[in-house]
């Protein structure tokens, strides 16, 4: 378990570098990431490269036994390049070029930009190929599947559609373009969604393809960079750092072409008072582990108070620096790199705090970081231990995109039910995987398939097979609604899942901010919101019914025997206790080894290995907790992580 820091030698006077490297070594830092925005210093003039300053920095770290990850600096082209080739700039939805001044203004489709990006990448790769201190590469920084409206992107989008559909006739049919006289009669009429109208006004079939195209387009760029790095600097693993943003590329496709996943992890510093809130980053971490189903890195980890484009926030509370880093290790990170070593004294991000403050005087956060480094380094014995999960949750980028395109009802968003199910199963002390919908389901006992909105026939078949063979599937509302093109299926819901769920909806009520209660068989009444499928059972048993509104008495949550397995259907969006209850029932029926009575916000991950196994027990709360596990009293201070060898 390795700890690193993000470091920007180009931001600091050289006189500070050696002292920084010494302090890192003394603290137990094993890795630094550098150079992701440093193009103007690496190629100060067209074709003139200067790696000398970076060589010096790399050598300082190498001398102290600290490894280096370098980044391709292609997110921030130097101004001379924009001046020479103004058209490499990203174009906004109103057709105007983005104005320079911030960062990431370039369009990754533009052939001139690509030539320059190739050149700096190849030069760097060649230069560091023989340098053993450089142990890996990060492509760009937080590559997003931005919408760009430049001519090159439009041409590429048309080509992408031509390859997919072959003819305009097929395309018109797939999109249902007859609506509002939208049929294309020439390829020149096909454009990205220009203008500022909400995307829900656009044709949803067209919009879903456009999201897919933007994702494929940025993946082309990361694959291109990866190929160059591998050719000219062989033997070094390549990644890019991702985050949960508005324009996420399809991580499953993107990381097919890369060696490992890395994620920028900025958990909450202010805990929400609402006990319903799913603020824990455990969900994000489990999702990152699931992308390649292997250990991952945190490339940027919370180190201080956030701020810069927004007003400054409270700094991490005592315990958070240590607790959140160890939480990442618990969920499968093998390297956690803190953003950043020292808070910048210059530039737009001077209020996004690092481990050290502007003063460069080590303070509370730094001391906590130093303690954490000692602990993380002592966890070496758990390197290679696995997180084996009985429970999986399926994720699909098609659904993420489709729900963004067409909001379902007020307050509804895709991640919510996934996060609630995740929290419910974690609350039982179980490991949970979050995996792509196309992954194999072998080895799981319970698979949650929430909001399977855009239907993939192969996935339906696999889930059915999984249940038939004895697995438990948990389905939710908004499943089986759309076909692959994002057009509505002509079927009762949940569409192709009806038979396995043994239930169908005769109507649905999107209730937005309204609430409705659901009554379980034992008289327990819990709250639900946003959506109500009015169900009729075919073969399923009713677990809970609506207790209000015009559909009072209709089934809301059901369970069906499907072959040797079970299929639950949750026809509404519950508050957390609804998912806790369903998860509890499903885990009990599947005889999973739950830990009863875990206090809220206590998270347990079990890592198993041949040599050693451990339970990571984390109190993700600002209040102390205590409970009994295996007959032993466990007490946890706020944000304390206990690693108990088993
Ligand atoms: C990240 C980004 C960093 C820095 C940080 C803090 O999302 O990758 O470059 O901007 O946020 O603002």
In sequence order, the 6+-apart residues with CB closer than 8 A to the CB of 378 are none
pLDDT score, position 104 = 85
Tell whether the torsion through CA atoms of 124, 129, 134 and 139 is positive or negative.
Answer: positive
Strand, helix or coil at 173? helix
Catalytic: which of 92, 142, 499, 507? 142
Q: Which atom of ligand 1 has the smallest separation from the CA of 141?
A: 8
Q: What is the pLDDT of residues 426-471, one digit of tens each?
A: 999 999 999 999 999 999 999 999 999 999 999 999 999 999 999 9
Q: Are 339 and 6 within 8 A, CB to CB? A: yes
Ligand 1 and 640: CB distance under 6 A: no
In sequence order, the 6+-apart residues with CB closer than 8 A to the CB of 591 are none
pLDDT score, position 102 = 87
According to DSSP, residue 411 is labeled T
Ligand 1 and 398: CB distance under 6 A: no
pLDDT score, position 100 = 87
Ligand 1 and 621: CB distance under 6 A: no
According to DSSP, residue 251 is labeled H
Q: How far is the CA of 265 from the centre of ligand 1 (A)?
A: 10
Q: How far is the CA of 111 from the centre of ligand 1 (A)?
A: 27
Best CA proximity match to 146, nearest among 193, 188, 187: 193
The whole-angstrom separation of Cα 283 and Cα 296 is 14
Q: Are 505 and 533 within 8 A, CB to CB? A: yes
If you take atom 6 of ligand 1, which residue's CA is the nearest one? 352
Among 239, 348, 349, 355, the mutation site with the greatest number of ligand 1 atoms within 8 A of its Cβ is 349
Ligand 1 and 6: CB distance under 6 A: no
Ligand 1 and 352: CB distance under 6 A: yes
**Apex CA 324: angle with CA 319 and CA 325, to 5°?**
110
Catalytic: which of 144, 300, 349, 439? 300
Is residue 588 flagged as an active site residue?
no
pLDDT score, position 541 = 98
Q: Which H or E run includes 441?
A: none
Strand, helix or coil at 255? helix
Is residue 142 flagged as an active site residue?
yes
The whole-angstrom separation of Cα 134 and Cα 67 is 6
Q: How far is the CA of 227 from the centre of ligand 1 (A)?
A: 25
Q: How far is the CA of 241 from the centre of ligand 1 (A)?
A: 10
Q: How far is the CA of 638 from the centre of ligand 1 (A)?
A: 27
Ligand 1 and 142: CB distance under 6 A: yes
The whole-angstrom separation of Cα 230 and Cα 383 is 26
If you take atom 10 of ligand 1, which residue's CA is the nearest one? 349
Q: Using 70 as the pLDDT threshold, list the residues of the chain that sit under it.
A: none
- Beta strand pairing status for 67-71 and 134-138? parallel
pLDDT score, position 309 = 81
Q: How far is the CA of 309 from the centre of ligand 1 (A)?
A: 11
pTM for the predicted model, two decimal places: 0.97
Ligand 1 and 349: CB distance under 6 A: yes
Ligand 1 and 300: CB distance under 6 A: yes
In sequence order, the 6+-apart residues with CB closer than 8 A to the CB of 455 are 480, 481, 482, 483, 484, 489, 495, 496
Q: How far is the CA of 526 from the centre of ligand 1 (A)?
A: 40
pLDDT score, position 199 = 86
pLDDT score, position 180 = 96
Q: Are 29 and 370 within 8 A, CB to CB? A: no
The whole-angstrom separation of Cα 400 and Cα 453 is 9
In sequence order, the 6+-apart residues with CB closer than 8 A to the CB of 323 are 618, 619, 620, 639, 640, 641
Ligand 1 and 545: CB distance under 6 A: no
Among 300, 340, 347, the mutation site with the greatest number of ligand 1 atoms within 8 A of its Cβ is 300
């Amino acid at each position: 378990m390795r700890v690193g820091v993000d470091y920007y030698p180009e931001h600091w006077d050289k006189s500070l570098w050696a002292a920084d490297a010494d302090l890192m070594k003394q603290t137990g830092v094993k890795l630094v990431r550098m150079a992701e925005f440093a193009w103007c210093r690496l190629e100060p003039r067209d074709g003139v490269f200067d790696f000398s300053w970076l060589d010096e920095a790399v050598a300082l770290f190498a001398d102290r036994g600290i490894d280096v990850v370098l980044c391709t600096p292609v997110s921030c082209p130097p101004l001379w390049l924009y001046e020479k080739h103004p058209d490499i700039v990203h174009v906004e939805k109103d057709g105007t070029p983005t104005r320079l001044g911030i960062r990431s203004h370039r369009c990754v489709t533009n052939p001139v930009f690509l030539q320059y990006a190739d050149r700096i990448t190849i030069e760097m790769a060649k230069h560091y190929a023989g340098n053993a201190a450089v142990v890996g590469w990060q492509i760009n920084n937080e590559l997003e599947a931005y919408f760009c409206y430049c001519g090159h992107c439009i041409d590429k989008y048309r080509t992408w559609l031509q390859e997919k559909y072959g003819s305009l006739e097929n395309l018109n049919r797939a999109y249902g373009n007859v609506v509002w006289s939208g049929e294309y009669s020439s390829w020149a009429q096909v454009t990205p969604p220009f203008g500022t109208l909400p995307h829900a006004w656009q044709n949803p079939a067209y919009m879903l393809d456009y999201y897919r195209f933007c994702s494929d387009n940025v993946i082309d760029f990361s694959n291109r960079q990866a190929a160059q790095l591998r050719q000219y600097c062989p033997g070094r693993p390549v990644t890019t750092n991702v985050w949960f943003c508005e324009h996420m590329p399809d991580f499953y496709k993107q990381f097919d072409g890369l060696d490992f996943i890395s994620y920028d992890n900025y958990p909450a510093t202010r805990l929400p008072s609402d006990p319903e809130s799913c603020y824990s980053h455990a969900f994000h971490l489990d999702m990152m582990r699931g992308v390649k189903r292997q250990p991952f890195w945190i490339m940027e980890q919370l180190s201080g108070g956030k701020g810069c484009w927004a007003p400054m926030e409270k700094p991490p509370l005592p315990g958070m620096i240590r607790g959140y880093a160890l939480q990442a290790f618990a969920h499968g990170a093998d390297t956690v790199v803190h953003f950043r070593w020292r808070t910048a004294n210059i530039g737009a991000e001077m209020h996004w705090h690092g481990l050290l403050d502007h003063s460069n005087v080590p303070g509370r956060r730094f001391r906590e970081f130093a303690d954490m480094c000692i602990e993380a380094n002592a966890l070496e014995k758990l390197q290679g231990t696995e997180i084996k999960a009985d429970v999986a949750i399926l994720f699909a980028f098609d659904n993420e995109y489709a729900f963004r395109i067409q909001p379902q009802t007020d307050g509804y968003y895709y991640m919510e039910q996934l996060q609630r199910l995740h929290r419910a199963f974690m609350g039982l002390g179980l490991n949970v995987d979050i995996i792509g919908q196309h992954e194999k389901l072998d080895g799981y006992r319970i698979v949650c398939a929430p909001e399977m909105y855009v239907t993939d026939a192969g996935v339906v078949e696999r889930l059915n097979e999984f249940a038939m063979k004895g697995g438990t599937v948990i389905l939710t509302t908004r499943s089986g609604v759309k076909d692959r093109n994002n057009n509505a299926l002509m079927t009762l819901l949940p569409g192709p899942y009806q038979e396995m769920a043994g239930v169908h909806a005769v109507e649905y009520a999107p209730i937005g901010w309204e609430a409705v209660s659901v009554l379980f068989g034992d008289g327990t009444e819990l709250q639900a919101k946003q959506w109500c499928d009015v169900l009729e059972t075919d073969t399923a048993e009713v677990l809970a019914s609506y207790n209000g509104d015009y559909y009072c008495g209709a089934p809301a949550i059901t369970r069906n025997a499907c072959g040797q397995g079970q299929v639950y259907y949750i026809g509404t969006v519950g508050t957390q206790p609804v998912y806790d209850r369903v998860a509890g029932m499903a885990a009990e029926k599947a005889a999973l080894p739950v830990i009863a009575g875990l206090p809220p916000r206590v998270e347990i991950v079990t890592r198993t290995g041949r040599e050693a196994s451990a339970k990571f027990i984390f109190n993700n709360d600002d209040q102390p907790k205590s409970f009994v596990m295996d007959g032993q009293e466990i007490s946890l201070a706020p944000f304390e992580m206990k690693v108990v060898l088993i």
